[in-house]
A and B are shown apart, each in its own frame.
Chain A
Amino acid sequence: MARMTMIEAVRSAMDVSMARDHNVVVFGEDVGYFGGVFRSTQGLQAKYGRTRCFDTPISESGIVGTAIGMAAYGLKPCVEIQFADYMYPAYDQLTQEAARIRYRSNGDFTCPIVVRMPTGGGIFGGQTHSQSPEALFTHVCGLKVIVPSNPYDAKGLLIAAIEDPDPVMFLEPKRLYNGPFDGHHERPVTPWSKHDLGEVPDGHYTIPIGKAEVRRAGSAVTVVAYGTMVHVALAAAEDAGIDAEVIDLRSLLPLDLDTIVKSVSKTGRCVVVHEATLTSGFGAEVVALVQEHCFYHLEAPVVRVAGWDTPYPHAQEWDYFPGPGRVGRALAEVMEA
Chain B
Amino acid sequence: MVDSARLSLHVPEPAVRPGGQPDFSNVKIAKAGSVPRPEVDVASEDIRDLAYSIIRVLNREGEAVGPWAGSLADEELLTGLRNMMKLRAFDARMLMAQRQGKTSFYMQHLGEEAVSCAFRKALEKGDMNFPTYRQAGLLIADDYPMVEMMNQIYSNESDPLRGRQLPIMYSSKEHGFFTISGNLATQYVQAVGWAMASAIKNDSRIAAAWIGDGSTAESDFHSALVFASTYKAPVILNIVNNQWAISTFQGIARGGSGTFAARGLGFGIPALRVDGNDYLAVHAVAHWAAERARRNLGPTLIEYVTYRVGAHSTSDDPSAYRPKTESEAWPLGDPVLRLKKHLIVKGAWSEERHVQAEAEIMDEVIEAQRQAEAHGTLHAGGRPSVRDIFEGVYAEMPPHIRRQRQKAGY
A62 touches B161 (CB 8 A): no
Measured CA separation A123–B57 after assembly (Å): 63
- Of B42-50, B168-176, B289-297, B334-342, which stretch is located at the interface? B168-176
Once the chains bind, are A107 and B183 in contact (CB under 8 Å)? no
User: B71 — which chain A residues lie within 8 A by C-beta?
Assistant: none
Q: List residues of chain A with CB within 8 A of the CB of B160.
A: 106, 108
Assuming A51-B200, A89-B219, A92-B186, is B192 touching A105 (CB within 8 A)?
Answer: no
A106-B162 contact in complex given A57-B227, A68-B190, A257-B400, C-beta closer than 8 Å: yes
Among candidates A74, A106, A109, residue contacting B178 with C-beta atoms closer than 8 Å: A109
Q: Which of A93-101, A128-136, A272-280 contacts B (4 or more CB under 8 A)?
A: A93-101
Are A72 and B395 closer than 8 Å at their CB atoms?
Answer: no
- Cβ proximity bits A242-279 to B, threshold 8 Å, 1 near / 0 not: 00000000000111011000000000000000000000
Contact A110 B395 (CB under 8 A): yes
Write out, one digit per residue, whether chain B residues 155-183 have a CB within 8 A of any chain A CB (1) or not (0): 00000111011000101110000110101
With beta carbons under 8 angstroms apart, the residue of A67, A108, A255 that contacts B193 is A67
Say whether B136 faces chain A, with CB atoms less than 8 Å apart.
no
Q: Does A173 contact B (CB under 8 A)?
A: no
List A47-103 residues whose CB lies under 8 Å from chain B: 51-52, 56-57, 59, 61-62, 65-70, 72-75, 77, 89, 92-93, 96-97, 100-103
Asked if B280 CB lies within 8 Å of chain A CBs, one says no
Report Cα–Cα, A52/B296, bound state, in Å: 18
Q: Which residues of A contact B393 (CB under 8 A)?
A: 102-103, 141-142
Cβ of A108 and Cβ of B195 under 8 Å apart? Answer: no
- Shortest C-beta distance, B263 to chain A (Å), equals 16
Q: Does chain A have a CB within 8 A of B256?
A: no
What is the bound-complex CA distance between A72 and B394, given in angstroms? 15
Which residue from chain A places its CB closest to the CB of B396 in the assembled complex?
Answer: A165
> Residue B392 at the A interface, CB < 8 A?
yes
Contact status B194-A107, CB under 8 Å: no
Tell me the complex Cα distance, A93–B178, Å.
15
B392 touching A66, Cβ below 8 Å = no
Given A104-B161, A108-B172, A108-B179 in contact, is the A142-B193 Cβ separation under 8 Å? Answer: no
Contact with B along A4-27 (1 / 0, CB 8 A): 000000000000000000000100
- The total number of A-B Cβ pairs within 8 Å is 148
Q: Which of B171, B197, B219, B395 has the most CB of A within 10 A?
A: B197
Interface residues on B, range: 35 or more
Residues in A with CB closer than 8 Å to B200 are 25, 51-52, 70, 75
Q: Is B220 an interface residue (CB 8 A)?
A: yes
Q: How far is the CA of A72 from the CA of B44 in the complex (A)?
A: 29
Asked if B84 is an interface residue, CB under 8 A from chain A, the answer is no
Contact partners of B171 in chain A: CB under 8 A = 104-106, 108-109
Determine whether B196 belongs to the interface, using a CB cutoff of 8 Å to chain A: yes
**Residues on B with beta carbons closer than 8 Å to the beta carbon of A77:** 193
**Closest chain A CB from B32 CB (angstroms):** 36
Check B94 for interface membership: any CB of A closer than 8 A: no
Residues of B345-363 contacting chain A, CB below 8 A? none
B400 and A254: CB pair below 8 A?
yes
Confirm or deny: A210 has a beta carbon within 8 angstroms of a beta carbon on chain B.
Answer: yes
- On whether the beta carbons of A69 and B190 are closer than 8 Å, the reply is yes
Q: Is B285 an interface residue (CB 8 A)?
A: no
Closest residue of chain B to A62 (Cβ to Cβ) is B223
Q: Which of B297-341 contact A (CB under 8 A)?
A: none
Q: Give the docked Cα–Cα distance between A256 and B410 (Å).
A: 23
Q: Judge whether B179 and A254 touch: CB under 8 Å.
A: no
Asked whether A65 lies within 8 Å of B161 as measured between CB atoms, the reply is no
Question: Does residue A30 face the partner (Cβ distance < 8 Å to B)?
Answer: no
B209 to chain A, nearest CB (A): 9
Are B226 and A57 in contact, with the CB atoms below 8 A?
yes
Does B79 lie at the interface of the complex (its beta carbon under 8 Å from any beta carbon of A)?
Answer: no
Interface core residue of B169, B172, B400 (most chain A CB under 10 Å)? B400
Report yes or no: A57 in contact with B186, Cβ–Cβ below 8 A.
no
Q: Min CB distance, B290 to chain A, in Å?
A: 17
| B406 on the A face (CB < 8 A) | no
| Closest chain A CB from B306 CB (angstroms) | 26
Task: Determine if B179 and A62 form an interchain contact, defined as CB atoms under 8 angstroms apart.
Answer: no
Which residues of the other chain, B, contact A56 by a CB distance below 8 angstroms? 227, 230
Is the beta-carbon distance between A65 and B399 smaller than 8 angstroms? no
Report the bound CA distance from A164 to B395 in whole Å: 9
Asked whether B178 lies within 8 Å of A257 as measured between CB atoms, the reply is no
Task: Report whether B164 and A106 are in contact in the complex, using a CB–CB cutoff of 8 Å.
Answer: yes
> Is the Cβ of B223 less than 8 Å from the Cβ of A65?
yes
Tell me the smallest distance from the CB of A50 to a CB of chain B, in Å: 10
- Are A70 and B399 in contact (CB-based, < 8 A)? no
Residue ID in chain A nearest B198 by CB atoms? A73
Question: Given the complex of chains A and B, what is the CA–CA distance between A66 and B196 in angstroms?
Answer: 8
- Flag if B161 contacts A92 (CB, 8 Å): no
Chain A contacts for B189, CB-based, 8 A: 61-62, 65-66, 69, 93
Alpha-carbon separation in the docked complex, A32 to B183 (Å): 31
Could you tell me the distance between the alpha carbons of A12 and B161 in the complex, rounded to whole angstroms? 39
Is there contact, CB below 8 Å, between A65 and B190? yes
Interface positions, chain A 33-49, Cβ under 8 Å from B, are none
Contact A254 B398 (CB under 8 A): yes
A25 to B399, CA, bound (A): 30
* Residues in B whose Cβ lies below 8 Å from that of A109: 171, 173, 178-179
Which chain B residue has the least Cβ–Cβ distance from A112? B395
Q: Decide: B392 and A106 in contact? CB cutoff 8 A.
A: yes
Contact in complex: A142, B394 (CB < 8 Å) = yes
Structural contact, B190 and A257, CB atoms closer than 8 A: no
In the assembly, what is the distance between CA of A166 and CA of B396, in Å? Answer: 9
A62, A96, A109, A210 interface centre (most CB from chain B within 10 Å): A62
Which are the 6 A-B pairs with shortest beta-carbon distances?
A69-B193, A66-B193, A65-B189, A62-B223, A73-B197, A254-B398
Q: A66-B190, A70-B193, A142-B393 known; 17 other A-B pairs, CB under 8 Å?
A: A25-B200, A57-B227, A62-B226, A62-B227, A66-B192, A66-B196, A68-B190, A69-B193, A93-B189, A102-B394, A104-B181, A108-B171, A110-B395, A144-B394, A166-B395, A210-B399, A255-B400
24 A-B residue pairs with CB within 8 Å? A61-B189, A62-B189, A62-B220, A65-B193, A69-B193, A69-B194, A69-B195, A69-B196, A70-B194, A70-B196, A70-B197, A75-B201, A92-B183, A93-B186, A93-B220, A96-B181, A104-B161, A106-B171, A108-B160, A108-B173, A109-B171, A166-B395, A254-B398, A255-B400
